[in-house]
Structure 1
Amino acid sequence: MIIQKSSNPRISSFDPTSFSFGNTFIDHMIICEYNNGKWGDLQLVPYGPIGFTPAMMGVNYGQACFEGMKAYKDKDGKVFLFRPEKNAERINKSAKRLAIPEIPKEIFMEGLKTLVDIDRDWIPHGEGMSLYIRPLLFATEEALKARVSEKYLFAIVATPAKSYYAAPVSVKISDHYSRSANGGVGFAKAAGNYAASFYPTQLAIEEGYDQIIWTDDSTHEYFEESGTMNVFVRINDTIYTPKTSEKILDGVTRDSFLQLAKRRNLEVVVGDVKVSDVIAAQRNETLKEVWGVGTAVVTSIFEALGYNDEHLLLPKLSEEESFAAMLKKDLTDIQTNQAEDPFGWRVLVEEQVYDL
């Protein structure tokens, strides 16, 4: 690996008690270029702009995908990643669907661990605090030709993170717009998936909601995802969540929640979640909780559902009563090294001495 450390690091001016998530970037980033049919040298360089033209194929034809993951710091200053191999696998699953060359796992993992190690001082410690990490792949060839690009860039950037969506949110059940369709790229973390979601979300916000629960494209009878999250429903004491498919992202947090629920011997049903069943449960007061899960938010508990022209309130449960809150604590305790890790999910980032 080629390491070029910043000559003007900003860490001394970073205030972990006051920063903007998503706009505050650590001192370095990882880059690796693909050209002439192969990946080149992995590089750690100072964070900053990279020169491109408006003719870059990733901008024009949408060959771009990414991942979302986090690093955590415990009370002793040790740094951990959470299930990074899942992100390495999934970025290549996305890349394959978008005809992007897959990034070798060893390049992904070496770049990830080196960046987190060198910029470990940027990782805030405390409840809800972490370093949000964004690996991404995109086409960089300068050509206005509707074909597969011949040049790509793998990069990793990161931003300190704190809790958001901390308060319960209201979500609208979509009866027109869909996030994805059969045969599409819904299972991939393709950049275009998010662009297509923004307009319907804006419409929902104008109606007083915070997010959307996406439904299937053909009938709008089944839950799929919520915003950028996987969705869970609790009716009585049974947890339901849609099965993953070519339309639904195989979320790392979703999979972790399922395993933690089974470890607690909670009843979990993975399969079709009918809108009509959820609405009926709300009306007969057996619907206890609906929540979303994802890397950035971990858990977002919903306080109301918008259905047709109705605003349907959900029960206000205490943390002791809430399965969502209980499973979130189980997960974050593992991530932050406050509990045993029976699954082997937590990966220690060893401090290294680099030959610069």
Structure 2
Amino acid sequence: MNSRRKFLRLSALSATLVGGISPFQRIWAGALEKPKANKPIVISTWDHGMPANEAAWQILSQNGSALDAVEAGVRVPEADPNVRTVGYGGFPDREGKVTLDACIMDKDSNCGSVAFLQHIKHPISVARKVMEDTPHVMLVGEGALQFALSKGFPKENLLTPASEKDWQNWLKESKYRPVINIENHDTIGLLALDANGDLAGACTTSGAAYKMHGRVGDSPIIGAGLYVDNEIGAATATGLGEAVVRTVGSHLVVELMRQGLSPEKACQKAVERIMVKQKNVKDLQVGFIALNKQGEYGGYCIHRGFNYAVKDHRTSQLIDSKFKM
């Protein structure tokens, strides 16, 4: 003990003599000091994530909540008829019906979801109402529609002339062969870390083009298409939902981050898990993005072609995801 005290005194004396901090003091100061988080920050899937991020950032930059930001962000592609895989103007199912899935999750693990919802332009906002105004997590089909109407959401025709024309052309052969990165990049998933250090996430889609009537993918399923753990981080998925559901993909990514993996590495491990489980991934695309509590982010996918958008105080950019094949 006496020798240790002598060492400490000598260390302090040496620091005083040189007019600075001793190496010993720097080591202990560094061990006690937590790295500063990069916040606020928002990350989302695909190039339609760029305008979605801008809407989310308007809230985050004013010290708004991550929950408000993720809802506002994904409402942008939901309302854009040129985004053919989300909301209004989305590709219909085999019967020519536009059916929508969405979910939202907050910092306290509260979550809401709607599936197989028709005639409502903003399913993400209905999902939030399910979370906040009901004792349930998920409403589907006619029940979800009736709930939305009771909350004042207008009933609308979501099938645009462009999507109807494409559906009519598809009917000529009626072959279900989605083209990866085109017809099955069917999701906007958005994650945010606000200035208070809290996470939230949202995911919304019109699903795979020309799917069977009634099909639901991963996007409205908590743990598959989206998962948020405010102690660790958040993740969301895009691509073929069936493959994501089988591995509870977004939950897997968050749990891998809990084990100490970076967001990118966690996404990579989840992709590799899917590739092991699937018999053939040649025509299958799945991608994940993740965001941790420090504001670190990353993404990974099976095939080249997936990208994700990031916005923080320093930059607004579209990043080409790393890929396995």
TM-score tier (shorter) = under 0.3
The structure where strand makes up a greater share of residues is 1
Q: Structure 2-normalised TM-score? A: 0.27
The structure where helix makes up a greater share of residues is 2
Pick the structure with greater CA Rg: 2
Q: Structure 1-normalised TM-score? A: 0.25
Larger relative contact order (Cα-Cα within 8 Å, sequence gap ≥ 6): 2
